[in-house]
Amino acid sequence: MKIITKSVIALSLLFAVVSCDDKDLDPTLSVNKEVVTITSVNDLRLILSGAYNRMTDKFYYGRDILIFGDVRSDNAYSNGNSGRFVTPGSMDMVDSDAYARDTFTQIYTVVASCNIVINATLVGTTDEETNQINYYKGQALTLRALAHYDLLRLYGQQNVNGGGLSANGIAYITEFKSENLSPVRNTVGEVKDFIYADLDQALSLMSTDLDGSKETITTPAVNAIKARVALYFEDWTIAKDASNTAMTEATAKGTRIALTSEFVATYTTPTPVNSIFELAFRDNDNESIDGLYNIFAETTYGDIVVLDNFKNQFSTTDVRGGSSMLAVDSKNRLRNVGKFIAFESNVPLIRFEEMVLVNAEASFMIDNSDATVLTSINSIATNRGAAAYTSVTLNDILNERRKELAFEGFRFDDIARTKQNMPVADVLKQTYDDKGTIVFGSYRYAFPIPLVETNANANTKQNAGY
């Protein structure tokens, strides 16, 4: 990955330091620190903070990766108002597509920061210092695992032509080096194993005693990410056990399902009661006009519009479909008005409700007569003002995921991992049916590997269809 390594090195020699307390979030604070000068726990903290900061970039969790999950689904579409997200929305990309290139490169810069922390040879002089070093390394291992998982679900071939675990995944990078690298792509199965290994090692290094802000990785977040990955790969027992552990740990810290009366405010309040992990955005440190607010709001770019079919999923009493969350604009188009409503809105990566839904689905797939499934699904529905279920099917669980996790980047992957064709809810607004129905297995279920990458590294094989 010569092009990746080249850009990562350039970016990594100067760390823009953004930590997770307000003082450190001042964007004027920076440090010029070369990799070889890590001599203190604080140095390690600053580099790790750089990894979190890179995750907030517009090409990653600051906007694009969340939009990719909904604009390629039956939740939303791009109207092209400012020319944004047209090619991802149509699922009609080419290898020179900027969206494929920019997100690919940005995620690998996060990996680079993590690898510096993970491979640092710093030794603690006290037990307290050693524990803190291990905790930071555990956070970095977790972020590295999440970053590679995100790369895999975008660029991996697991959903193309029956690919599965033996298909081409992505290169799992575990070292930061100053010379060029030309790694081959690991298989999907290898990437999965590396992700689990990183998460398990993180858990062995981290102590709940050191868990702090929900704006950083904590032990519940590690288990939650493990549960998410396991659900994606249909490792049902792992998903069930990890989600149970995540919920138990989170509950011990006061985290829980948001009540109906609390739900809307959870998207305007930093670290709300249902948050397990979120990324911090502040009034002096955000993506500004290139963030999530502008891409949803009518009065700004407004490219991402909600499909009417999504609104139809809600009962009249369900707060998730109410006017505080979904509203019609001046041109009679449906808008997301409840999530990401300001430049400084934090971005939730893991909510307690996701773990409830993961646990319900995994439990159902293990034993569809498991009584806890109905209890779990009703704990979401009744806390949103919806009627309780009397019985639950897999489609019910997936629909609750669609309603609960909308615009947070999940819908496309839920369709893909359950091997469904891409649903067309509106033949006029969804433009990805111009080449016919997109059936599961189509090459369009994966992004192209960026042209700049395949040109720079002969070992990187392009995805099918591009």
pLDDT tens by residue, 329-361: 999 999 999 999 999 999 999 999 999 999 999
pLDDT of residue 99 exceeding 90, the answer is yes
Bigger pLDDT: 31 or 299?
A: 299
Does 2-448 carry CATH code 1.25.40.390? yes
How far is it, in rounded angstroms, from Cα 237 to Cα 363?
8
Give Cα 418 distance to the centre of its chain.
18
- Residue 407 pLDDT exceeds 80: yes
Containing 326, the helix (H) or strand (E) segment is strand 326-328
Scanning the structure block, which residue is given the tokens 């519009």?
305
Rounded-to-integer distance, Cα 309 and Cα 48, Å: 41
Query: For residue 435, what pLDDT is reported?
Result: 66
- pLDDT of 318 > 80? The answer is yes
Is the per-residue pLDDT at 125 higher than 60?
yes
Whether the pLDDT of residue 9 is over 50: the answer is no
Whats the size of the chain, residue-wise?
466
- CB contact set of 280 (below 8 Å; sequence gap of 6+): 20, 25, 52, 56, 215, 270, 346
Question: So what's the pLDDT on residue 309?
Answer: 96
Q: Read off the pLDDT band of 430 (50, 70, 90).
A: confident
Are residues 272 and 345 in contact, defined by beta-carbon separation less than 8 angstroms? no
167-187 pLDDT tens trace: 999 999 999 875 557 899 999
Q: Which of 463, 405, 434 is nearest to 91 (CA)?
A: 434
The pLDDT, as a whole number, for residue 285 is 80
